[in-house]
Structure 1
């Protein structure tokens, strides 16, 4: 089958492309904007990428067009597909029909931590020899790819692994299907990691998102398992609306807990006050410890003992663009992180602060998500950056003024509507020992490489 994917360079649709190619299909795709790491991954797989959504692509010979949720009515290629009655599916629908229907699906839902927790869970299953398939909204460094089909488990070389780990997004499916993506997946094991207001472009309020999570809960069978963050009142409200599946909690005394935390980041894992083991790793932050608890609990549901999961996490290499070191120049380290919601920004900065102690943190932010572009959460922005020593914020493409939102930070914060001026200001400010933390859910004009090059030139 020939599949042509519209919006192929998004992390989810890029994962669909990888899985379809691995399954033996011919895969081509198009997108309006192409940037790493997804474009690099697709090119390495030999998938042909086309710039834009021209009507001529309808004649490419595809058996089905798979439509990403970035595509809207009025897009020339989409209009041609509709006018000619050509077959099309959303990405989640194609995945559900062609891959997930035969799998034990482990879904990771939540406002924050989906990518990291999904990566932890997939790695735990892989380390246990279970060879899971997965589709993750990032590239786990233990695997080097964002998606793959289930493989051959070590325990039964004659079979194919039944397990598939998927990052379960609450964003809508496509312009013709306004349900959340995750209702298509029908998981048997589901993590509900947390739940806050986000996606202000499609949800009016938190209650609307809770309704979508309620719909997800309705799809989990009675012999499945829900792994639920016990600290979240929003998730408690979701379960109060109906729950037909056994639940395990984490983050509270009645369930999985973090015990003692060592100075090097290692921590005890407790279940019902009984120590299950100690995770020894380089990751920092309470959010990562909570992610780990959820992954350990979910893995136990498919038969991986807690001790084995804890040992696997000690070999977990994190995800690209999650506190990823992009380089060091003259003692100045540049990090790349995907944080874009105020809560994620706060936990990311706090995690780096825990790691680097009193070293200066220069936070560089691009408010690029749909929610941030609308300015819905601008009042929370300054509080999320309170642990940074200096803040540099891009105002490119924003209709609101971030300088007003950052006023509580005083002269620690600066806003720029010109990319080169932003980079120049960071380079002028940076000194040996500084930690430059870049946060964006997009390419940010390749700022990491630009910063490293200009820092090197300034100190040559």
Structure 2
């Protein structure tokens, strides 16, 4: 089959392209911005890419057009497809019908931590020899690819793994299907990591998102499992709407808990069922990931993997070798004792946990002298709308200096950060901001860059400027 993907350079649609190609289909695609790294990744797979949405692309005569949610009415190619009555389908539906059908799907949903938890879960199954397929909205460093079809398990090289791990996004499916993507996946194991208000461009309020999460819960079979963050009242409201599936919680006194967290990131795992008075020690996760949010992600992945038949001790051993995901507290370089990190955090809650995690690692400034220089780009649709702006000052409290890129916002970042104006500065020019960061940085500092986009290559610009400042090769 020949499929032509509209919006192919997004992480999700690019993953579908890779899976379709691996399944033996001819794959072509187009997007408004065809550029590295996604373009080179896809082209290396033998996938033909076309810049723009020219209606003349219908001359390719594919068997079906797969439509990404970046495509809207008025798109010239989409209008041609509609006018001519050509066959089309959304990305999530194509994935469900052509890849996920008949698989044991493990879906990870939540406002935060989907990519990291999906990566942990896929790695645990891989470590256990189960060779899962996966589609993740990032690049897990244990795999170096964001998507693959199920492989042959270690135990039976003549079969194909039934398991598929997917990052289950609540964003809408397509312009013609306003349901959340994840309702198409029909998981047997569903992880509900957390639930806060986000995607203000498509959801009116938190209740609207809770409704979509309940649609997901409705699709999980009685013999399945819902793994739920027990600290989230919003998720409890989702379950209270009706749940026909066993539920295991993490982060509470029942079911899965973490304890004895150390400054190096390591912690103990406990499990307590409803018939026990106290939790039983399951093992010790020795890794370098920081923060309570990562401990919660680990508990969720351990619980989900156990449902798929992986012993807890195997999961703990796997997590000890987990290498995280690119752009999740990824060290981009060190110059003259100044460490530059890259992180995907773009929601105030994610910013809070990211900064707090780094602070717990480097220690309090008064004790260690280590400063955190937070560099922020409010780039997500929700942040651009200013819905979360009032929460920004609190999310950055543990940073010592804050550099905010305020260009192209629909709100006043200076006013929004006025509560921390003694340490926060807003810039409209990226190069001027880089110069200010370079001037302020000193040996022992940690520069934490947070954005869900490329941020104009600011990480490399900072490193280059630091090399010039300190005359380092």
Q: Number of paired residues? A: 460
Residues 48-91 of structure 1: CA deviation (Å, up to 9, x unaligned): 32222222222223221111111111111111111122211111
**Alignment check: 8 A CA contact 1:41 1:145 kept:** no
User: Which residue, 397, 401, 405 being the options, matches 2:412?
Assistant: 401
Query: After alignment, is 31-40 or 335-344 more displaced?
Result: 31-40
Residue 228 (str. 1) matches residue 234 (str. 2): no
1:159-206 deviations in Å (ceiling 9; x for gaps): 100000000000100000000000000000000111001111111110
CA RMSD of superposed structures (Å): 1.2
After the TM superposition, which of the residue ranges 383-392 and 258-267 deviates more from structure 2? 258-267
Deviation at 1:45, TM superposition (A): 2.2
Report the 3-state secondary structure (helix = DSSP H, G, I; strand = E; otherwise coil) of the residue aligned with 1:196. Answer: coil
What is the rounded CA distance, in whole Å, between the counterparts of 2:60 and 2:409 in structure 1? 37
Residues 36 and 443 in structure 1, CA contact (< 8 A), matched pair in contact too = no
Q: What are structure 1's unaligned runs of at least 5 residues?
A: none
Of residues 340, 355, 359 in structure 2, which corresponds to 1:353? 359
Matched with 1:328 is 334
Unaligned 5+ segments in structure 2 are 273-278
Q: TM-score, normalised by structure 1?
A: 0.98
Which residue is 1:305 aligned to?
311
Residues 129-138 or 45-54, more deviating: 45-54
Contact 2:132 / 2:163 at 8 angstroms: preserved in 1?
A: yes
Q: TM-score, normalised by structure 2?
A: 0.95
* Alpha-carbon distance, 1:44 to partner: 3.1
CA distance in 2, matches of 1:50, 1:382: 42
SS at structure 2 position matched to 1:339: coil
* 1:314 equivalent in alignment to 2:320: yes
In structure 1, the residue matched to 2:401 is 390
SS at match of 2:422: helix
Partner of 1:175: 175
Instruction: Give 4+ residue runs of structure 1 displaced > 6 Å after superposition.
Output: none
Q: Secondary structure at the match of 1:277?
A: strand
Distance 1:182 1:423 in 2: 39
Counterpart of 1:94 in 2: which secondary structure?
A: helix
- The equivalent residue for 1:338 is 344
What pairs up with 1:61-460 in 2 under 5 angstroms?
Answer: 61-272=61-272, 273-357=279-363, 358=365, 359-460=370-471
Provide, for residues 134-169 of structure 1, a one-character-per-residue CA deviation record: whole Å limited to 9, x for no partner. Answer: 000100000000000000001111110000000000
Quick check: 298-307 or 413-422, which moved more?
413-422
Once the two structures are TM-superposed, the CA of residue 37 in structure 1 deviates from its matched residue by: 4.6
Could you tell me whether the CA contact under 8 Å between 1:35 and 1:443 is conserved in 2?
Answer: no
- For residue 30 of structure 1, report the CA deviation from its aligned partner: 1.7
Displacement of 1:33: 2.6
Question: 1:410 offset after TM fit, Å?
Answer: 1.8
C-alpha separation in 2, matches of 1:40 and 1:354: 38
Q: What's the counterpart of residue 276 of structure 2?
A: none
User: Where does residue 275 of structure 2 map in the other structure?
Assistant: none
In the TM superposition, what is the alpha-carbon distance from 1:41 to its structure 2 partner? 2.6
Deviation of 1:36 after TM superposition, in Å, equals 5.2
SS in 1 for 2:28: strand
Contact 1:280 1:314 (C-alpha < 8 Å) held by counterparts: yes
Change beyond 3 A, Cα 1:185–1:30 = same
What is the rounded CA distance, in whole Å, between the counterparts of 2:343 and 2:36 in structure 1?
14
- SS of 2:123's equivalent? helix
Cα separation, partners in 2 of 1:77 and 1:132, compared to 1, 3 Å: same
Counterpart CA distance in 2 for 1:349 and 1:43 is 37
Structure 1 residue 302 displacement after superposition:
0.8
Q: Distance in 2 between matches of 1:40 and 1:436?
A: 29
Tell me the distance in 2 between the aligned counterparts of 1:420 and 1:263: 35
Q: CA deviation at 1:16?
A: 0.6
Residues 351 and 39 of structure 1, relative CA distance in 2, 3 Å threshold: farther
Q: Secondary structure at the match of 2:199?
A: coil
SS at match of 1:166: strand
Q: Distance in 2 between matches of 1:457 and 1:46?
A: 40
SS in 2 for 1:411: coil
- Report the CA distance between 1:40 and its aligned residue: 4.1
Q: CA deviation at 1:458?
A: 2.5
Distance 1:35 1:353, change over 3 A: farther
| Cα-to-partner distance string for 1:409-453 (whole Å, 9 max, x where unaligned) | 122111111121121211121112211111111111111122212
Contact 1:106–1:163 (Cα < 8 Å) also in 2: yes
Structure 2: distance between partners of 1:144 and 1:371:
29
1:340–1:369 contact (8 Å) kept in structure 2: yes
Question: Greater shift after overlay, 109-118 or 388-397?
Answer: 388-397
Question: Aligned equivalents of 1:409 and 1:54: distance in 2?
Answer: 48
